[in-house]
Amino acid sequence: MLQFDISKRNGGFILWGDYGTLKPLHSYIMDIANNSPVLDSEGIVVALAYDIRKAYEGQREKSTTTVWDDEITIYGVEQVWTTFLMQVALLRYALAFVDSSKNDQCQIYLLEDFTEQILQAAFPKESHDILAQYKQLIGIQESFIEQKLGSRSSYFLTLNKTQRKLQLAEILSSLQPMWDVITRTLDSDRKHGVLNPDELESYSWNSMDNFSDEKFQI
């Protein structure tokens, strides 16, 4: 049972689940990360597994929910849109390179369905374009994404709520390998989009240290 609470500024959401859901999900992600040749065993996808483990160990958010007549404990951890969507895309791609069972396939379908539900709730008008860009990310190498994701996530978190809604799809598009080259080549003819490759280069995970915590609230 996975649930979500969209963050106030729509920079992401809290991923909630009970122990019986989060523990197997963590194991599944780690199994794919350790066995797929296209993933780094200490990379971006493993960071998602780490978040989930910290959640069910009670080191992040904790709440209760009612299932039928029973009150159960659920555990949560914050996720940023840009990072989470890329992690799910990498998982989908990695699954093609390991011997997977029907249960493995079921896990990724459930995670993708969960992702679509959150996006549709958070971005009713924009979710179609965001999902289209997510699908374009499936197949991109993790080693390439590691070079780009920090700048995109850092930039995304400097935006206000309205800007995040309007720019998320193009931020995801900017993770495409040829985006920088195409954007610079066609810059004078662009009729849609607000991202500037040169501006994005000034952002990184480390650049978040130069801003106040308020600036980067999810």
Q: What is the pLDDT of residues 85-138, one digit of tens each?
A: 999 999 999 998 988 888 888 889 999 999 999 999 999 999 999 999 999 999
DSSP assignment string, 166-206: HHHHHHHHTTSTTHHHHHHHSGGG--S----HHHHTT--TG
Q: How far is CA 212 from CA 10, 11, 31, 215, in A?
A: 18, 16, 37, 5
Q: What is the pLDDT of residues 2-25, one digit of tens each?
A: 999 999 999 999 999 999 999 999
Instruction: Tell me: pLDDT of 56 over 80.
Output: yes
Please state, in angstroms and rounded to a whole number, the distance separating the CA atoms of residues 159 and 11: 9
Residue in 107, 79, 105, 81 with CA at minimum distance from that of residue 21: 107
Instruction: Tell me: pLDDT of 195 over 60.
Output: yes
Domain limits for position 121: 2-216
Instruction: Tell me: pLDDT of 214 over 80.
Output: no
Q: How many domains does the chain have?
A: 1
Determine the pLDDT at residue 66.
86
Determine the pLDDT at residue 136.
94
Q: Three-state SS for 79?
A: strand
Instruction: Tell me: pLDDT of 30 over 90.
Output: yes
